[in-house]
Amino acid sequence: MSKVIALANQKGGVGKTTTAVNLGIGLAARGERVLLVDADAQGNLTDSLGFNEPDNLPVSLATILSKVMLEEPYKPNEGLLHHVEGIDLMPGNIELSAIEVSLVNTMSRETILRRYINTVKNAYDYVLIDCMPSLGMMTINALAAADSVIVPVQAHYLPAKGMTQLLQTTARVRRQINPKLTIDGVLLTMVDTRTNFAKDISFILRRDYGDKLCVFNTEIPLSIRAAETSAKGKSIYLHDPNGLAAKAYEAFTKEVQDIGEKRRTKQHKADFSR
Question: By the 8 A CB rule, do 135 and 165 touch?
Answer: yes
Question: Could you give the string, one character per residue 108-147, with x where binding to ligand ATP holds by CB under 6 A and - elsewhere?
Answer: -------------------------x--------------
Among 35, 41, 44, 91, binds ligand ATP (CB under 6 A): 44
**For strand 34-39 and strand 126-131, is the pairing parallel, antiparallel, or unpaired?**
parallel
Nearer to ligand ATP, 44 or 148 (CB): 44
Contact between 94 and ligand ATP (CB under 6 A)?
no
CB of residue 180 to ligand ATP, shortest distance in Å:
25
Nearer to ligand ATP, 42 or 253 (CB): 42
111 makes contact, choosing from ligand ATP, Mg ion, none, with CB < 5 to 8 Å by partner type, with none
How many residues bind ligand ATP, per CB under 6 A? 20
- Give the burial class of 58: count Cβ atoms within 10 A of its Cβ; 0-12 exposed, 13-18 middle, 19 or more buried: exposed
Contact between 222 and ligand ATP (CB under 6 A)?
yes
Contact between 13 and ligand ATP (CB under 6 A)?
yes
* Rounded-to-integer distance, Cα 176 and Cα 5, Å: 19
The pairs formed by 205-209 with CB atoms below 8 angstroms and a separation of 24 or more are 205/153, 205/159, 205/163, 208/160, 208/163, 209/163, 209/167
Question: By the 8 A CB rule, do 173 and 138 touch?
Answer: no
Residues 6+ apart with CB under 8 A from 4: 117, 121, 126, 127, 129, 145, 146, 147, 148
**For strand 148-154 and strand 3-7, is the pairing parallel, antiparallel, or unpaired?**
parallel
Interface region with ligand ATP, contact rule CB under 6 A, candidates 11-19, 77-85, 118-126, 208-216: 11-19
Nearer to ligand ATP, 7 or 127 (CB): 7
69 makes contact, choosing from Mg ion, ligand ATP, none, with CB < 5 to 8 Å by partner type, with none
Interface region with ligand ATP, contact rule CB under 6 A, candidates 9-17, 160-168, 177-185, 200-208: 9-17
